[in-house]
Structure 1
Amino acid sequence: MFADRVLSGMRPTGNLHLGHYHGVLKNWVALQKQYECLFFVADWHALTTHYDTPEAIEQSVWNMVIDWLAAGVDPSQAILFIQSKIPAHAELYTLLSMMTPLGWLERVPTYKDQQEKLTEKDLTTYGFLGYPLLQSADILAYRANRVPVGEDQIPHLEFTRNIARRFNHLYGKKAGFEDKAVLAIKKLGSKKSRLYNELRNRYQEQGDESALAAAKSLLDEQQNLNMGDLERLFGYLEGGGKMILAEPETMLTPASRMPGLDGQKMSKSYDNTISLREDPVSVNKKIRTMPTDPARVRRSDPGDPAKCPVWQFHLIYSDDQVKEWVQQGCKSAGIGCLECKQPVIDAILAEQKPMHERAKMYEEDPTLVRNIIAVGCEKANRLAEETMRDVREAMGLNYS
């Protein structure tokens, strides 16, 4: 019923690094070629934990968008926008909060986890508690039915699905809904009407998920029904009402294997990152001064790549021939640590070269970035307003 639409966002909390590229941006570049994609700067989300240092957000916003463009995100293929520039995010967040049980928010796993990790911050705020609901509003405002997330974000997506389901249940059943659904069924024709009713009964009476899938496929194929009738039939199928908000499906992204310079996960909090657009001289210096296997005190000492942080980079950047050369050379002391590091340096610089080239014109003329975002915000606003018109009508707020 709803178009295949992907939505994803990132918080502007500083320069992006290679961990962001391998964990998120490479996936965005692939998705934009397959789906209608919306990628947004989650500046309000940054305030949920950085509410006391807002001055750093603005510059981070523009730097992050340049990083996206440098990585290959294409504004001709995807809509790029800033969360706070689209009023629908705040409006839908507020309206959804009226029907969201408090216990649902308190049970989101990251709520207590983040409070325990960020002990230096006072996170006993309404904004932090409501973070998952704002995330839901971000998704539901665009009826995005595909959301790429890591495993740690799956509970947030399930929360969003529950919010959409609850909203549709509360506000999708207008007076006469069932009568209109029955009339819509007749428009399918006698044969398809019987099949729809049979599949609906099998799902509702026996919980047959295959019957539900078959019925949805049947409706997806219908060309002669208007959007209103289709929405009613999708809602009637599951025993609910009109499908006003789309339930998003999880697109699980592979966990990023990008290590930091010290062998831990690459993270700004560990001060072990290489930025997407880092100067080549700096990249060279950082890799050359990386720690290696402690057993290799002298050039003639054999080592074990498994105990060396540099090996983690070879797993990402080197082919089988180079990896074999590293294994043999390290264990036999046939190569030194600086020799071992050079292929990694070369590979990272090669990866970053097109990023520097793509970023150059945006760095020289920041108005280009602002224009891209302005166009993206206009497109995003139109899509969100389509949803909000239906939401306001469903909640009885379209009076004048």
Structure 2
Amino acid sequence: MSEPLQPIVVSGMRPTGRLHLGHLHGAIANWVKLQSNHRCFYFSADWHALTTSYDRTEVIRESQREMFVDWIAAGIDPERASLFIQSQVKEHAELYLLLGMITPLGWLERCPTFKDQKEQLTDRDLNLYGFLGYPVLMTADVVLYKANAVPVGVDQIPHLELSREIVRRFNFHFGEVFPEPKPLLTEAAKVLGTDGRKMSKSYGNAIDLGESAESTTKKIMGMVTDPSRKRRQDPGNPDVCGIYDLHKVYSPPEVLEWSATGCRSAGIGCVDCKKKLLEKLAPDQERLRERRESLLARPGDLDELIRIGTGKARAEAQRTMAEVREAMKL
């Protein structure tokens, strides 16, 4: 297989609602950077949303629209990245089925996420074929576009290694059709929620992208900092503080140093630190809000961008599936 002129990157998100600052600094900001020197395919993983929420499909379509709006507002350029909907490229399902035919059951049962989520999501039934087999669908999503690399965090490497094993098994039996996708390690910025836990919609501790200045200010000013710093004169530890984590992604080095030194020496209070953060965060949120409103005011334009992106993805997927069928003599 010849190497493509530009490395190919594929990534997606499940449409489960508005995106927040954790999504922005954990994934989307990196997607924006990758656009400059990669062929990028970014998709709404609506079929993946069914693996844990098959009985809540009414939220998928609206969440999907909000998600695409958030992506574009945050800097994803539909001219440089193909934005598309997974379920509208039926080749994902065909390749999923074919790869499923050669994937040993034991590989799926050992998948860390399968075991972890079964233990954590006790409020829903996950004894489902779709949930067990989702790593095969994830593999199809990636290799359908012959991706060289997949942007992942360290915790996701085991999932990608499973995809690589499936690719090796396919290529062994049918010939070298797919490249083995390599992990494109991204050091995601740590973003804590307003209560000190990881920012998440399910925890109710998130700050949405483009949230109003009033709401953003209210949430930041009420945000949990170092829980051991009870009084203004007590020294604190910025390394356990969500405000300091946000300073790392919004503030220049001199402000970051001011925040860390002032916290440890009790030279500044938490209110001072929060107000300084808002000097950068609030204007950035306002820019995102304005972009979002502009996009939402032109729903037809957004639909056309996704239609074009889905068409590009479908054309690429059809070429790959022609190779797959020929290799498998189907």
> What TM-score results when the alignment is normalised by the length of structure 2?
0.92
Q: Counterparts in 2 of 1:191-270, with a 5 A limit?
A: 243-270=176-203
Provide Cα deviations, 1:109-152, integer angstroms capped at 9, x if missing partner: 21111111111111000000000000001011111111111112
Aligned equivalent of 2:158 = 155
Aligned equivalent of 1:371 = 304
Provide Cα deviations, 1:354-378, integer angstroms capped at 9, x if missing partner: 3223323211111111111100111
What is the alpha-carbon distance in structure 2 between the residues aligned to residue 126 and residue 385 of structure 1? 26
What is the alpha-carbon distance in structure 1 between the residues aligned to residue 37 and residue 94 of structure 2? 30
Residue 101 of structure 2 aligns to which amino acid in structure 1?
A: M
What is the alpha-carbon distance in structure 2 between the residues aligned to residue 388 and residue 332 of structure 1? 62
Aligned equivalent of 2:236 = 304
Aligned equivalent of 1:68 = 71
Q: More deviation in 24-33 or 101-110? A: 101-110
Aligned equivalent of 1:349 = 282
What is the alpha-carbon distance in structure 2 between the residues aligned to residue 35 and residue 82 of structure 1? 20
What is the alpha-carbon distance in structure 1 between the residues aligned to residue 260 and residue 158 of structure 2? 41
1:118 aligns with 2:121: yes
Q: More deviation in 309-318 or 347-356? A: 309-318
Residue 161 of structure 1 aligns to which amino acid in structure 2?
A: R
Q: Is the 8 A contact 1:2 1:246 kept in 2?
A: no
What is the alpha-carbon distance in structure 1 between the residues aligned to residue 108 and residue 278 of structure 2? 45
**Counterpart among 166, 170, 173 of residue 173 in structure 2:** 170
What is the alpha-carbon distance in structure 1 between the residues aligned to residue 242 and residue 29 of structure 2? 23
What is the alpha-carbon distance in structure 1 between the residues aligned to residue 156 and residue 227 of structure 2? 37
Runs (5+) with no aligned partner, structure 1: 173-242
Q: Is the 8 A contact 1:263 1:312 kept in 2?
A: no
Q: Secondary structure at the match of 2:207?
A: coil
**Larger Rg over CA atoms:** 1
Q: CA deviation at 1:41?
A: 0.5
Runs (5+) with no aligned partner, structure 2: none
What is the alpha-carbon distance in structure 1 between the residues aligned to residue 108 and residue 241 of structure 2? 42
Q: Is the 8 A contact 1:293 1:303 kept in 2?
A: no
Q: CA deviation at 1:341?
A: 1.2
Q: Is the 8 A contact 1:261 1:273 kept in 2?
A: yes
Q: Counterparts in 2 of 1:39-50, with a 5 A limit?
A: 39-50=42-53
Q: CA deviation at 1:339?
A: 2.6
> What TM-score results when the alignment is normalised by the length of structure 1?
0.77
1:338 aligns with 2:274: no
Q: CA deviation at 1:316?
A: 3.4
1:80 aligns with 2:91: no
Q: More deviation in 347-356 or 304-313? A: 304-313
Q: 1:96–1:309: structure 2 CA closer, same or farther, 3 Å change rule?
A: closer
Q: CA deviation at 1:333?
A: 5.7
Q: Secondary structure at the match of 1:22?
A: helix
Aligned equivalent of 1:57 = 60
Q: 1:390–1:280: structure 2 CA closer, same or farther, 3 Å change rule?
A: same
**Counterpart among 339, 345, 358 of residue 291 in structure 2:** 358
Count of matched residue pairs: 326
Q: 1:93–1:297: structure 2 CA closer, same or farther, 3 Å change rule?
A: closer
What is the alpha-carbon distance in structure 1 between the residues aligned to residue 228 and residue 141 of structure 2? 51
Residue 371 of structure 1 aligns to which amino acid in structure 2?
A: E
What is the alpha-carbon distance in structure 1 between the residues aligned to residue 246 and residue 162 of structure 2? 36
What is the alpha-carbon distance in structure 2 between the residues aligned to residue 166 and residue 333 of structure 1? 59
What is the alpha-carbon distance in structure 1 between the residues aligned to residue 225 and residue 295 of structure 2? 37
Percent of residue pairs bearing the same amino acid type: 52
Q: CA deviation at 1:260?
A: 1.5
Q: More deviation in 387-396 or 62-71? A: 387-396
Provide Cα deviations, 1:151-198, integer angstroms capped at 9, x if missing partner: 1221221111111121122122xxxxxxxxxxxxxxxxxxxxxxxxxx
1:107 aligns with 2:40: no
What is the alpha-carbon distance in structure 1 between the residues aligned to residue 272 and residue 75 of structure 2? 31
Q: Is the 8 A contact 2:46 2:85 kept in 1?
A: yes
Residue 210 of structure 2 aligns to which amino acid in structure 1?
A: R
1:33 aligns with 2:41: no
What is the alpha-carbon distance in structure 1 between the residues aligned to residue 42 and residue 328 of structure 2? 28
Q: Is the 8 A contact 1:37 1:79 kept in 2?
A: yes
What is the alpha-carbon distance in structure 1 between the residues aligned to residue 111 and residue 203 of structure 2? 26
Provide Cα deviations, 1:72-127, integer angstroms capped at 9, x if missing partner: 00001110000000010001111111111111111212111111111111100000
Provide Cα deviations, 1:6-43, integer angstroms capped at 9, x if missing partner: 11111111111111111101110000101111001100
Q: Is the 8 A contact 2:236 2:265 kept in 1?
A: no
**Counterpart among 98, 101, 105 of residue 98 in structure 1:** 101
Q: CA deviation at 1:252?
A: 0.9
Aligned equivalent of 1:271 = 204
What is the alpha-carbon distance in structure 2 between the residues aligned to residue 315 and residue 357 of structure 1? 24
Provide Cα deviations, 1:366-394, integer angstroms capped at 9, x if missing partner: 11111111001111000000010111112
1:144 aligns with 2:76: no
Q: 1:111–1:336: structure 2 CA closer, same or farther, 3 Å change rule?
A: closer
Q: Is the 8 A contact 1:258 1:316 kept in 2?
A: no
